[in-house]
Amino acid sequence: MYTRGFILLRRLSTDSKNTKFFTTPIYYVNAKPHIGHLYSSLIADAAQRWQHVYQKSSFVKFSTGTDEHGSKIQQAAEKNNTTPDKYCDKISSEFQKMVSEFDINCTDFIRTSETRHKDTVAKLWRVLNDSNHIYLSKYEGWYCVSDETFLTESQLKEVTVEDGKKILVSEESGNPVEWSSEENYMFKLSAFQDDLNYWLKNNEDAIRPRKFHKILLDLINKDDGLQDLSVSRPTSRVQWGIPVPADPSQKVYVWLDALANYLTVSKYASDEVTFKKCWPPDVQVIGKDILKFHGIYWPAFLLAAKLELPKMIFCHSHWTVNSEKMSKSKGNVVCPIESAKKYTTDGMRYFLLREGVAHSDGNYSDIKVTRILNSELADTLGNLLSRCTGTALNPKQIFPKLKSDVLDEMKQIDVTKKLIDSVQKLPDTCRDYYIQLNFYKAVDSVIATLHVANLFFETLKPWELKKNPENHAKLDVALHLTLETLRISCILLQPIVPNLANVVLEKLNVPEDNRYFENVKTFSWNIKNSSEKPLKPEKVVLFKRILTEEDTKVKVKKGL
């Protein structure tokens, strides 16, 4: 039974696990990467980067990769006049390029066409088969070629196509189905309905956000319940796949194959010691379109193999473009690498993590991207850095020393009080949001604090203080508090925009060993006998404003 057996498995695993394990879904190579793929990768990347910032000495495993088998890959290869393996090499390289370009700091990029993965699938199959969870049966039912899955009557709906003909389609994907009869291997999914219910009902963090937790429970408990799952396909229909062990007439179902990738990168089939150190996954990031596969099939396979379930499956919503669903036919699929040529890779990271809300679809538009990046990265953050490190106000290029009596005097000013209060609350606020993977809220909190810092700067008018030597101690306070705000803010922004954060922290001369959460819990204005510290002398431009149509019109009008 799940209840007692799972608790035992959890205790044994926890005793030996010492590595935090994060995963993205592996991406199907029937098309090039789009911003939805990038968003999944950024969530997982930001989560594991936060782990490094939060726990300085933590060990992290972070995997991503490509899913390369199935009839859709065969078809795509044929359409492109190439072989499946060459086609997979080409498209997988596009995903590897995305990983590199956007600083997705993975420790493992897995391809399901690799030998190590085939070995893992073979081992998992044998374990499931030897424990009597797989049986051979003639299967008849409605088959969706596009989704590569059989569907029950309750999963279908009738629609009318252009010529007026009525056809059956998958209720979930909208893809057409056809009646199919064949001999397949079946997995006893129905045997795990109670266990899956127990897992979900007794673990609020199993699926997050809560919206998807409820959706999954509803899927499991439909009127007809869970049906046994076909986990193989005839080789005569699907040539491009992993053979079923001891039966080359069948190929392993693509989802059993794909889901095993997490076991492959954990060395399930090759290194038991390493496997115990990282299993189970701490956070598995997925899109809502694959919730059923990760929330029902995946945990059922693991339970059948007597392996511990993931600690959390984090499910996010999709991206629309100008409020329309992305599709090749509409020509509105956003290529992240192309977009980064205009907005930069950190700009794209910032926008997607800033605007993406897991429980609801996000909307991408060039107008919105430009407005947010100009307003927040160029103006709020970048301009503040330029002003307090510029030679006009800070000719010595220093983090000024504070005079305690002048600091005490300036603490009586409302805007100073507000800034100090905002900065001192910021670390714990961000920590809570990062732990919840609510990245947009963490960014919003940082930006709110930077707005206060800009108001503080404008109110104190340091350019006026500079004119009178008697006010230079006040100028030092103004510069010091602003620079300290930037230090703390950029340590906290490292999971979101690692390169931009590094530019600021390098300029502020913050050692790499002092860029952790523990370093934002001490505020320089609370340190007695503070000392002057040098900044790096090089001038930096953090983020160049993106030209809008209005900017271009103004330039033309001025003859520039």
Residue with tokens 């503040």: 384
pTM of the model: 0.92
**The pLDDT of residue 353:** 98
Q: What is the pLDDT of residues 444-466, one digit of tens each?
A: 999 999 999 999 999 999 999 99
**The pLDDT of residue 141:** 81
Residue 265 in tokens: 């990168």
Does 78 fall in a domain? no
Q: What is the pLDDT of residues 489-547, one digit of tens each?
A: 999 999 999 999 999 999 999 999 999 999 999 999 988 877 899 999 999 999 999 98
Closest CA to 113 of 75, 68, 82: 68
Q: What is the CATH number of the domain that holds 381?
A: 1.10.730.10
User: How much is the average pLDDT of 352-366?
Assistant: 96
From CA 204, how far away is CA 159, in angstroms rounded?
37
**The pLDDT of residue 12:** 40
Does 526 fall in a domain? yes
The tally of CA atoms less than 13 A away on the side-chain side of residue 194 is 4
Does 108 fall in a domain? no
Is 70 exceeded by the pLDDT of residue 203?
yes
For the ranges 53-62, 83-92, 328-337, the one whose mean pLDDT is highest: 83-92
Does 425 fall in a domain? yes
Number of domains the chain is built from: 1
**The pLDDT of residue 148:** 75
CA distances from 20 to 17, 59, 197, 434, 435 (A): 8, 6, 26, 15, 13
Arithmetic mean of pLDDT over the chain:
92
Range of the domain at 510: 365-534
User: How much is the average pLDDT of 279-292?
Assistant: 97
Cβ atoms of 261 and 110 closer than 8 Å: yes
Does 472 fall in a domain? yes
Helical H segments across 241-323, by residue range:
254-259, 261-265, 272-278, 291-292, 298-304
Does 242 fall in a domain? no
Is 50 exceeded by the pLDDT of residue 13?
no
Split at pLDDT 50, 70, 90, the class of 548 is confident
**The pLDDT of residue 247:** 96
Does 508 fall in a domain? yes
Does 344 fall in a domain? no
